Copies of this chain bind each other. A is one copy, B any other.
Amino acid sequence: MCKDTVIDKMKEAGLRITPQRVHIVELLYQLSHPTADQIYLKMTEKFPYVSHATVYNTLKKLKVIGVVRELSNGDKSSHFEMVETEHWHFNCKVCGEMYDLEAHKNEVLMAYGTNNYAFQVDSFRVEFYGVCAKCNAK
């Protein structure tokens, strides 16, 4: 999903396309699953008077219309990323780094349950997102 598609979806959803919002979308592509505050800090380079409210508010709306996903792994603050269908992350319990796994996917899968790989994988979980049976029935 490219930037223009995201902006189209925002228009469809009745959201206004402001320069701030466009830049937030751009930063979501540029930065690697940033926190709200990381986006805020980058924003200030282009919009020195941007407020936290704008960043949080926009991220929340992008999430509601389904183009952004909020991630957290028990760090203080949430991370955000553009929604793509398949998603793989590796979370290091030592340094707290969150890796995107497009490149390392097979290596991590192989590493699961062995000690012979650069990544040491202790466990994994799978998260599905959508509408549950109960809400679907309404």
Contacts and interface: CB of A to CB of B under 8 A. Distances in A.
23 contacts: A66-B93, A66-B122, A69-B123, A70-B74, A72-B73, A83-B123, A85-B124, A86-B124, A86-B125, A88-B126, A89-B126, A93-B129, A95-B135, A97-B132, A112-B128, A118-B133, A118-B137, A122-B129, A122-B130, A123-B128, A124-B128, A125-B126, A126-B126
Of the four ranges (under 10, 10 to 19, 20 to 34, 35 or more), the interface on chain A belongs to: 35 or more
Given A84-B123, A97-B132, 13 more contacts: A63-B74, A71-B125, A86-B123, A91-B128, A92-B134, A93-B130, A94-B131, A119-B132, A119-B133, A120-B136, A123-B128, A124-B127, A125-B127
A131 B93 contact: yes
A63, A73, A127, A137: residue with the most chain B Cβ atoms closer than 10 Å? A127
Contact of A119 (B66, B83, B130): B130
A15 interface: no
